[in-house]
Structure formats: C-alpha cells, structure tokens
Amino acid sequence: MKTDFGDINKVPVRSVWQNEQYNFTPWLAEPANIAGLASAIGLELEVENVEVAVGPYSADILARDVGTGRYVVIENQFGKTDHSHLGQLITYGSFLDVAAVVWLAEEFTEEHKKALDWLNDHTTEDLDFYGVAIELWQIDGSRPAVRFNVASRSNAIVKQAAAAKATGQLTDARKLQLEFWTAFRERLLARKVVASAQAARPQYWFDVALGRSHFVLSNTANTSENRIGVRVYMGNAVADAALEQLLPQKDEIEKLLGESLQWNPSPEKRDKIIAVYREADLNDRKQWPEYCDWLVDHVAKFRKVFGPRIKSLKINTTNDEQNE
C-alpha cells in the first residue's frame, strides 16, 4: 500500500508576527502560550507584566515562577542572537533581581550558546539562564505550529558539584539539613505538587510559593527540637490584615485539612504564621522517606486550601504585587 507523506517546512517567524514588540510579545504573554514556553524549560510561569521599565529601557516580559515565587525575565528577539540582546538580558536580570533569565530568539549562534552555558556554570545555584529558539513548522499548507526548542539551560550537575564542595565547610547539622532538603525537593517534584522548587540549602527551612507576594509555605526541619513542620508564613507588611481575614475561616480550614493548626503561636512577632508540627528524629535517615512524604502531603493540602483564600485577601500595600 502506497502512503503519501507531506513535506515539513520551517516558517519564518515574521510571516506570522510582523513586529516583535507589538505582535509577538503580547501573543507570548497570553496564559496558554506562556505555558508552552514554561513547559519547555521546566518551570510554571505566570506573567506579571509586559514592557517593564528598566531605567530608559524595557524588559519584554516579567513573569513569576509559581513553584518558587521568584521572578523570571524574558527577552524576545527576532532573527539571530547578538551581543546587544545578551547585554540587555544581564542588565534586566540584575535590575529586576530575577532567579532566571530566558532569551528567546529564532537562531542561536554557537558563541551565544557557549556564553549562556558559561554563565550557568559560573553563577550561583539560585540563578539560571535559558536560551530558547522559537520555531514555526507546517506540513504542506497546514497552519504553522509553534515549537520552543531549548538551546541552553542550567547545568544541574555542575551546580550540584559546587554545592557538594561547599558542604565541606558546613557543620554536621547544616550538612544534614542540606541533605534532608535535597531529598524533600526531589520528592516534591517527583509527585508534581509544584512544577519547580527552590534549590536545597543548609538551613532549617525550605519555602514553597503560595502564589502571592509576602506569603510562603515555609517547611521546617528543626534538628535541635527534633520536629518538622509546615507553616503559612505571612510577612509583616501584610501579616495583621491577612490573619484578621483568615481567622474567621479557622474552623472551615481545619475541617478541610483534617487537623488542628497553631494560629499565630508567637503573637509578639510582627510576622505571623499558621502552622502544624510533628516529632521527627532527623538523625534517623531511615525515617526520611516518611518525613518527606508527610511534608509533601501537607504542602499539597495547604496549597489547595490556603492558596485560593490568600489570593482573595483584600490587602492594600504598595509592596503587594498582586494588587498592582
């Protein structure tokens, strides 16, 4: 039996979007389209704003990584990559204090791919650079399909090696915390509770974003008190107003979670928390899988129950990006 196949052809980007600023950037900023880019680089992005002022310049898109709450700047370029856009990316990233920089272009030169790889290998684990080629393909005369082809991304192995080298300067307790949070992060991502997460660090807490500035889910691993916990952490700029609105929902929230919580256990502090804890011998590594599962379960439940409530809070503050 004879089978007829179509021809796959690459379509020039300008045949669909005539202008990068006025046509392509607004298209990319739409939720369904930014989700395609986010999936390609392994993040979960929500657009904060477009054409964001950076001194006399403007960054194409400022987004937030939902998994970590950190900012991501995206710079779009038609045609082949050039030095000018590389400089703009670094300028925008430093000015906006982002956790990731995404360079989107039609074609990446070998020199610019090498530059991104070098930046990834020589910057901290908290900063990632991505080079992504935007491609349009069609079969015969079909509608063009968009493909985001990752040309460069962070080298996790190199950064993990650097982190491992640094552990030689840590106390035993800090080393244990780093290893525990590494195991927790792996479990959190494996179960797809969030699409991305902050890097593990040698400290007693590990934060997961809650979708709004000044709020995080702060997981804790206290080696001196032998306990782990999950806390809804509210920064002092919003804490009083947030707690006042959440307290009337206490019974409903605890019913949905299936357990009692500690509401504002340290009223003398300006930051406020809503927390749950349990005993945990962190020196017993055989128990770590069960501890990690407990934390991941609670992160999933807390995000489901508290996430929508926190987003709907009526809080007026000039520092609250959600209300800008």
| Alpha carbon distance 37, 20 (integer Å) | 16
CA distances from 62 to 27, 36, 70, 138, 275 (A): 14, 16, 11, 30, 32
Instruction: Give the model's pLDDT for residue 320.
Output: 44
Burial of 37 (0-12, 13-18, 19+ CB in 10 A): buried
Torsion region of 47: left, alpha or beta (phi above 0 gives left; psi -120 to 50 gives alpha): beta
Q: Of 50, 47, 114, which is closest to residue 86 (Cα–Cα)?
A: 114
Query: Which tokens hold the place of 34?
Result: 């930014």
pLDDT of 202 > 90? The answer is: no
- Which 8-state DSSP code applies to residue 66? T
CATH of 170-323, one of 2.60.98, 3.20.20, 3.30.1460, 1.10.1200: 3.30.1460
Residues 6+ apart with CB under 8 A from 308: none
Query: Which tokens hold the place of 78?
Result: 């038609």
pLDDT of 322 > 70? The answer is: no
| Alpha carbon distance 9, 7 (integer Å) | 6
Instruction: Give the model's pLDDT for residue 160.
Output: 54
Average pLDDT over residues 308-322: 72
Of these ranges, 8-17, 65-74, 208-217, the one predicted with the greatest mean pLDDT is 8-17
Q: Of 38, 36, 94, which is closest to residue 67 (Cα–Cα)?
A: 38
Instruction: Give the model's pLDDT for residue 180.
Output: 95
Instruction: Give the model's pLDDT for residue 9.
Output: 87
> Model confidence at 324, in pLDDT bands (50, 70, 90)?
very low
Instruction: Give the model's pLDDT for residue 65.
Output: 85
Domain ranges of the chain: 8-155, 170-323
- Asked if residues 238 and 216 have their Cβ atoms less than 8 Å apart, the reply is no
- Which 8-state DSSP code applies to residue 94? H
Q: Tell me: the pLDDT tens digits for 226-243?
A: 999 999 999 888 999 999
Average pLDDT over residues 211-221: 88
What is the H or E stretch that residue 141 is in? Answer: none
Q: Tell me: the pLDDT tens digits for 242-290?
A: 999 999 999 999 999 999 999 999 899 889 999 999 999 999 999 999 9
Alpha-carbon torsion 62, 64, 70, 73, what sign? negative
pLDDT of 323 > 70? The answer is: no
Instruction: Give the model's pLDDT for residue 272.
Output: 93
Q: Tell me: the pLDDT tens digits for 161-186?
A: 555 555 566 788 888 998 999 999 99
Instruction: Give the model's pLDDT for residue 287.
Output: 96
Average pLDDT over residues 12-18: 92
Q: What is the CATH number of domain 8-155?
A: 3.40.1350.10
Average pLDDT score over the chain: 88
> Model confidence at 6, in pLDDT bands (50, 70, 90)?
confident
Torsion region of 226: left, alpha or beta (phi above 0 gives left; psi -120 to 50 gives alpha): left
- Which 8-state DSSP code applies to residue 60? E
- Asked if residues 47 and 29 have their Cβ atoms less than 8 Å apart, the reply is yes
